Chains A and B, each alone.
Chain A
Amino acid sequence: MAAQHGLEAHSHGNVPIQTRSERPRSTSVSDFPELSNRQEIWRYVPLDKLSGLDKEVMGELTESEVTAELASGTSMRWVDSTDPLVGSAGLPEERVSAAAWTNASKTLVIEVEAESETTDASFLKIAPNTAEAKALHVVVSVGNHAKATIALDHLGQGVLGENVEIVLGDGAQLNFVTLQEWESGSTHVSTQFSKLGRDSSLKHVVVTMGGDLVRVVPAVSLSSAGAEVNMYGVYLAGSGNYFEHRPYVDHIAENCVSNVAYKGALQGAGAHTVWVGDVLIRESAVGTSTYELNRNLLLTDGARADSVPNLEIETGKIEGAGHASASGRFDDEQLFYLMSRGIDEDQAKKLVVRGFLSEVIQKIGIESIEQRLISAIEAELEKAGA
């Protein structure tokens, strides 16, 4: 068992017994055991809802199921998964990611030309045409000193095992958004690997609003000096939703900065969210500054939010490291304050929830997505029981 630094003072529940960096990596499904809730990384997941994503063989998503609207400087192409680009940001650490990896014979490559700069966003709609288990592999590659915004929008009904690799060149800046707006009957496991070049900056945003089981595991490797990552997440879970987010930041190089903030609202019986935030500061990561936060707002009885921040620190020579996690019920005092000004209860609740999530929503930086999200929140709160 490896040493767990910085965890002693907390009582967030069970902590993983392994150091994050020591997990085995492989693209072969058979290298990983069958899934079980006894394994830490699967402990919360309702495995019966995986719908075949852990099987050795599944179909793959095809070109016709992806539509793109690309900004200038950004291009898209499909390549064979033997292409050297594939695997450049990371390799699977568990069975579902490995299954998606080996079953995707083609890879969708989105490339941003070096030194190109645009404030327009590129949108990729990923809408499976059937609800069978399918694999997808995406590589986002941003050239040196380029600046771009790319959003992956998952919608419709589908069962998707996905690996996304994000590679940033030196000095590149990427605003990356992954949206999960699945209809019910959908399962989505997305494993995302990011590798950041020197002095590059990644804004990684996860927005999850629909799907029976959605699990997003974004890992960021800070292996070049001066890189910065800001990871934001917003989720809104209702009855029948299981959403799990496991951001992981691996501080390897000197003077890197990471900031993780996820906020979620839950409503309705059986709504369940899980957030596990791992930050590893290696011995080499001198001058690191990191902070991770997760907050959950439970709007009704019967919803459950698990929140586990893990911080492993292998060097004392850092700028700062901290984390915060809290899950709370609706604040009656806030409601009273608003209502005492004539605002009715429904509207007061909407204001509070929007306000609670807005700190993260405002960070997305894509107006159309922010608006869609706000509308979706209002629609969700209109539902009975709000």
Chain B
Amino acid sequence: MTTLEIKNLHVSVETDQGSKQILRGVDLTIKSGEIHAVMGPNGSGKSTLAYSVAGHPKYEVTDGQILLDGEDVLEMSVDERARAGLFLAMQYPVEIPGVSVSNFLRTAKTALSGEAPKLREWVGDLRDAMGNLRMDSDFTERNVNEGFSGGEKKRHEILQLELLKPKIAILDETDSGLDVDALKVVSEGVNRAHADNGLGVLLITHYTRILRYIKPDFVHVFVAGKVAEQGGAELAERLENEGYDRYTKAAV
């Protein structure tokens, strides 16, 4: 059982106009096997939350704590966070020219488990995971994210989620830019990782569409850098019908 605790998190980002505060006291706790949806309008700080947990250098934590089973995540480097069991599926995965998917995945798996995976087992796991995500086998020969379509990028993120087997995953708008078929395939992947590995999920999304395929246990509405309301799946339905107007008006 793993617990990720985010306590009173305040985060700023450097801009040309100076330091700008984005997160203003976020409290969230995610445990193994739980699915949390974080929803909110554009600019509410959802992605900042994701990147701050992963440790992107652009974001400065000015107050608060992030703990993984009591360990101070803020003291860890980006790669240490990943090795501690955190995973971020990115909204805009980065191209790495000249590095094949196959080389990348094997290097990451080796870094996470401390030893190179047994070749035969690994090849089998990779083939199965790619089959499940309806990815062609020649995909592994392509360079990481280079020339990938939007759907391919997201499948590749979920492929990593399934192969690297983190404890807690943050999915940053994984649903954006996907057609319905791709959305289903990607959602199935998340559900498999959840069912097979007891993955804890923090699902960041702007839309309720993905919640038809991934059922959240908790829904948090994010407005102006903090959680404005929390509830169960029924809160998502209400957002579907009413939108974010009620919160944004209140915030202004």
**A-B pairs with CB below 8 Å: how many?**
78
When chains A and B are docked, how far (Å) is the Cα of A3 from the Cα of B95?
A: 40
CB neighbours of B55 from chain A (8 A): 340
CB neighbours of B87 from chain A (8 A): 340
Segment of A107-115, A279-287, A349-357 engaged in the interface with chain B:
A349-357
Q: State the Cβ distance, B101 to closest chain A Cβ, in Å.
A: 12
Chain A residues touching B, majority SS: helix
Q: State the Cβ distance, A377 to closest chain B Cβ, in Å.
A: 12
CB neighbours of A326 from chain B (8 A): none
When chains A and B are docked, how far (Å) is the Cα of A331 from the Cα of B104?
A: 17
Indicate whether B123 reaches chain A with its CB closer than 8 angstroms: no
When chains A and B are docked, how far (Å) is the Cα of A127 from the Cα of B46?
A: 61
How many residues belonging to A are interface residues under a CB distance threshold of 8 Å? 24
Is the CB–CB distance between A358 and B98 below 8 Å? Answer: yes
Is the CB–CB distance between A343 and B96 below 8 Å? Answer: no
Is the CB–CB distance between B78 and A340 below 8 Å? Answer: yes
Is the CB–CB distance between A341 and B111 below 8 Å? Answer: yes
Q: State the Cβ distance, B139 to closest chain A Cβ, in Å.
A: 17
Given contacts A333-B94, A355-B98, 10 further A-B contacts (CB under 8 A): A337-B93, A338-B96, A341-B79, A344-B79, A348-B79, A351-B96, A355-B96, A356-B98, A358-B98, A359-B98
Q: State the Cβ distance, A16 to closest chain B Cβ, in Å.
A: 31
Is the CB–CB distance between A342 and B94 below 8 Å? Answer: no
Is the CB–CB distance between A355 and B79 below 8 Å? Answer: no
Is the CB–CB distance between A336 and B99 below 8 Å? Answer: no
How many residues belonging to B are interface residues under a CB distance threshold of 8 Å? 29
CB neighbours of B56 from chain A (8 A): 336
B89-140 CB contacts (< 8 Å) to partner A: 90, 93-99, 103-104, 107-108, 111-112
Q: State the Cβ distance, B56 to closest chain A Cβ, in Å.
A: 6
In the complex, per-residue mask of B148-174: 1 if CB is within 8 Å of any chain A CB, else 0: 000000000000100010000000000
Indicate whether B220 reaches chain A with its CB closer than 8 angstroms: no
A337 CB contact (under 8 Å) in B83, B94, B98: B94
Given contacts A336-B78, A339-B82, A343-B79, contact A355 B111 (CB under 8 A): no
Indicate whether B227 reaches chain A with its CB closer than 8 angstroms: no
Is the CB–CB distance between B94 and A334 below 8 Å? Answer: yes
Is the CB–CB distance between A343 and B111 below 8 Å? Answer: yes
CB neighbours of B248 from chain A (8 A): none
